[in-house]
Amino acid sequence: MNSFLVAFFYAVAGIVVVPIIFSIFKTKYGFLDVVLASIGAAAVSLIPTIGGPASLATMIAILYWRIREDLVPDIVVAVGVARLAVIPLLLVFNLKSQ
């Protein structure tokens, strides 16, 4: 699968899913912070071999840095759910390409 497509899915899932999870947890956040963290994580995902885990760590770190509260569990859960939401998309697009 094209790595740029995977990075695009990471960015879109982060921009869509993370604010939904934050609203469920009633976490105060800035939408621009979520967008920038998602785009930064998508860019890091393009690194060969370690891009996936580094991208996950990057998004968590950027959100923690920008939100500036002790909300690590909320951030980790939101980013984890966003990444899990990418799996069905990747499977569908991988099956269509074969």
Reported as a single tens digit per residue, the pLDDT across 39-76 is: 999 999 999 989 889 999 999 999 999 887 778 889 99
pLDDT the model gives residue 71: 81
Segment 21-38 shows an average pLDDT of 93
State the chain's mean pLDDT as an integer.
90
**71 Cβ neighbours under 8 A, 6+ residues apart:** 27, 64
Two tokens, residue 19: 């604010």
pLDDT the model gives residue 98: 60
Two tokens, residue 70: 């002790």
Segment 17-33 shows an average pLDDT of 93
Strand residues in 46-86 grouped as ranges (E): none
pLDDT the model gives residue 92: 87
Segment 24-51 shows an average pLDDT of 93
Domain ranges of the chain: 3-96
Say if residues 58 and 44 touch (Cβ distance below 8 Å).
Answer: yes
In this structure, the dihedral spanned by the alpha carbons of residues 75, 81, 25 and 57, taken in order and rounded to 10 degrees, is 0
Two tokens, residue 65: 């840095």
Kindly report the number of other CB atoms within 10 A of residue 71's CB atom: 18
pLDDT the model gives residue 97: 64
State yes or no: pLDDT of 79 exceeds 90.
yes
